Amino acid sequence: YSKQQDETPAWKKVNYQNVYKDIADLLEDENYDDGSYGPVFVRLAWHASGTYDKKTRTGGSAGATIRHAPESEHGANAGLDVARRRLEPLKQKYRNISYGDLYTLAGVVGVQELGGPTVQWRPGRSDKQADACTPDGRLPDAAQGADHVRDIFYRMGFDDREIAALVGAHALGRCHTYRSGFDGPWNASPTVFTNFFYTELLENTWVPKKWDGPKQFVDKPTGAFMMLPADMAFKTDPRFRTYIELYARDQDTFFNDFSAAFAKLLELGVKFPEDAPTYRFKTLD
Ligand code: DDH
């Protein structure tokens, strides 16, 4: 008497191109923000991954601990429950996908479907329980400057060029007073992935916003666009500024560097199964 056992690991039973397509179908919603969940999906993928500490080898996207309290309730993660709730039906549909794979793949979809570069991605993260949550304070504080930004990203294992490339994601989306306390989009096309973070930062005159809220900057001519204090550090710090100038004049170099750095971010601390393939997903159109 022998019983046939299915020994295929869960991650191998998922068709990731289908998941990609289903996530892409969730992006558009004219009643949400600027009409797309893409920016908040990118932010979810980044905050799920950016907790990595290379010294202790803790954090990162592998366990998807961002979905558990207390990590889900860390100030930096305010509002990301919106993205997780939007994705939850796909976790139910594709029972074998891990949350870590789903959240990071949603970031790839956000970047690619909004017109950004192709981002290589691998499956095989396995979820962890709440006891693996990282301590508060591993993600950057927008009120601080270049030294703080370096401390946070060096801890993950990034260099100045990679940090400058990653922050270009601030072409997408906006700040929400009810999430971070800050307010407004960085440019006029927050649902298109461009190098506008760099061009706006360099070409505009940024003045302190006159309001009761936390210190932030607005563009002098219209007041419609914003920069965080931590964003301004990329303009004032000479080593960061070299890369900001490079990416402002050369969108292709920005796309290449962003793609590599974002793929690296999503893989920090993940031990992939040896046979996990690397995907380069096709965009929907
Ligand atoms: Fe960011 N970010 N981010 N960011 N981020 C915010 C929004 C978005 C910082 C602070 C904030 C990255 C780096 C930094 C995105 C992607 C990335 C908000 C506003 C704050 C505050 C949140 C809200 O109110 O809803 C700081 C500080 C840094 C830094 O010091 C470098 C990086 C590396 C990324 C990335 O994806 C690679 C995106 C996208 C958004 C827009 C979210 C949305 O809902 O729209």
The pair of three-digit structure tokens given for residue 188, joined into one six-digit string: 């006029």
Location of structure tokens 């962890």: 128
Location of structure tokens 């916003």: 209
Residue of 167, 178, 183 to test ligand 1 pocket, by largest number of atoms within 8 Å of CB: 167
Domain range annotation of the chain: 10-138+262-267, 146-260
Domain spanning 10-138+262-267: which CATH class is it, in words? mainly alpha
In this prediction, does ipTM exceed 0.95? yes
Beta bridge partners of 58: 53
Q: Which atom of ligand 1 is nearest to the CA of 34?
A: 45
Q: Is 172 helix (H, G, I), strand (E, B) or coil?
A: coil
* Catalytic residue (one of 11, 46, 121, 186): 186
Location of structure tokens 């592998």: 62
CA torsion through residues 115, 253, 173, 95, sign = positive
Kindly report, residue by residue over 177-236, the tens digit of the pLDDT. 999 999 999 999 999 999 999 999 999 999 999 999 999 999 999 999 999 999 999 999
Which pLDDT value is given to residue 6? Answer: 75
The pair of three-digit structure tokens given for residue 14, joined into one six-digit string: 């998922």
The answer to whether 121 is a known catalytic residue is no
DSSP assignment letter at 37:
S
Do the domains spanning 10-138+262-267 and 146-260 agree at the CATH topology level? no
184 lines ligand 1 (CB under 6 A): no
Which pLDDT value is given to residue 2? Answer: 58
Which pLDDT value is given to residue 81? Answer: 98
Residue of 80, 175, 231 to test ligand 1 pocket, by largest number of atoms within 8 Å of CB: 175
Asked if 194 and 171 count as a contact pair (C-beta separation under 8 A), the reply is yes
String of b and e for 274-283 (b: at least 16 CB within 10 Å)?
eebeebebee
Q: What residues in the chain have per-residue pLDDT under 70?
A: 1-4
Second-level CATH architecture of 146-260: Orthogonal Bundle (1.10)
Which pLDDT value is given to residue 211? Answer: 98
